Amino acid sequence: MALLTIGLNHTTAPVDLREQVAFDVETLPEAFARLHAAVPGIRESAILSTCNRTELFLAVDSLETADIGTWLADYHRVDAAVLEPHLYRFDQLRAAQHMMRVAAGLDSLVLGEPQIMGQFKDAMRSARDARAMGTELESAFAKVLSVAKRVRTETAIGRHPVSVAYASVVLAGRIFSELAQCHVALIGAGETIQLVAEHLLEQGVTRLDVINRTLANAEVLAAAVGGHAYSLDGLAEAICRADIVISSTGSLAPILRKDVVERALKIRRNKPVFMVDLAVPRDIEPEVGALEAVYLYTVDDLEAVIQEGKASRLEAAADAERLIDAALDDWQRELRGYRAVDTIRLLREDVQRLADAECLRALKLIESGKAPDEAIQQLARQLTNKFLHGPTVALRSAAERGDLSLLEAANRLFDLSETEEET
């Protein structure tokens, strides 16, 4: 098997081009079928398609397999000449290294972002469901995901926030030891709040209220996260239940006022509330931060946390790269070992044939009246002579030619204590 990866990502192609070559998960089975039918030599395939990348992972008969880039352009009806300059291609160990870096979040727009590992698993599942993936890619993906998991658990690559959405959730986790038990109110329904909701779900939070000026937008997000939707008229009610409030809207004036929070605190009996205002201009009146039992952070407060996180992730990335290099060394040794498989199999089969023939001969001798111990001794001599005949002839011939490399190899292979000396 030859391993091949071809694709484009946020560093090689603009978003408008990435959009054109993205794959819809619903049409992936058809895409796999068309790929295997159109390009000879593809044994197995998997496709990873996200907002930041489209990549094809392939097990092929030969690295000279037909131009995958042309197929990708044809499938999406994109000009191949336009697409080609934005594509990258990796094979064998470089392909494996790239896959490991992608799955570990080292090749992501946000260094160390955790979603990519799940997307990688989804790509594997889709290929398996479409019967486009077999044992070869399964084995490769298993190794890749194993390394990615080690990167997540053995380095600090994902432990420090690098976005305001992620930072707000991380800070909430520092204040509430059992974050999953908290009730969260999200004010807004835009992209930032959507990311916050995703991070909260990853932390096991299930009690979510979404409050938004346009109720329909709140309902869409609430349905996606299993929460409840409210218009701004329901804000005061939602705040009374909330242990955590995270806000990001486009309002030009504060949405959450001090008097509303004061009333909520009385109902809550001053139970602590963690608030993050991610909006500019601010959604939460600054005076709210002076209230007892309220922990209020703004986007500026989070920036210092984010910068610390970026520095920490860069350090962790170096550790991750070392893990990947070690894994690639192991993979390369394994690939080298595969080269000996056929030779070892043939050697074992040849020796087994000799052993079977000599055992049969010994049994016949015993049946004819020969003493068992003599028959066994003869079996051992015959088996030894026949097994060593070929190698002995080859070694003698090599010595006569002055080819000492074969003699040295034989000494290493059989761990002989004495070596032949040239006379």
Catalytic sites, residue numbers: 51
CA end-to-end distance (rounded Å), the chain: 46
Instruction: Please give the Cα distance from 280 to 86 (Å, whole number).
Output: 36
Instruction: Please give the Cα distance from 353 to 39 (Å, whole number).
Output: 43
| Residue indicated by tokens 């397999």 | 65
**88 is written with which tokens?**
């990258």
> 34 exposed, middle or buried (CB, 10 Å; 0-12, 13-18, 19+)?
middle
Strands 273-277 and 244-247: parallel
Q: Facing residues of 274 across strands? A: 244, 295
Instruction: Please give the Cα distance from 141 to 147 (Å, whole number).
Output: 10
Contact criterion met (CB below 8 Å) for 94 and 87:
no
Spatial strand order of the sheet with 42-49 comes to 42-49, 53-60, 2-9, 88-91
Spatial strand order of the sheet with 294-298 comes to 228-230, 207-211, 183-187, 244-247, 273-277, 294-298
Cβ contacts of residue 178 below 8 Å, gap of 6+? none
User: Whose CA is closest to 167, among 20, 318, 319, 274?
Assistant: 274
| Residue indicated by tokens 């896959």 | 99
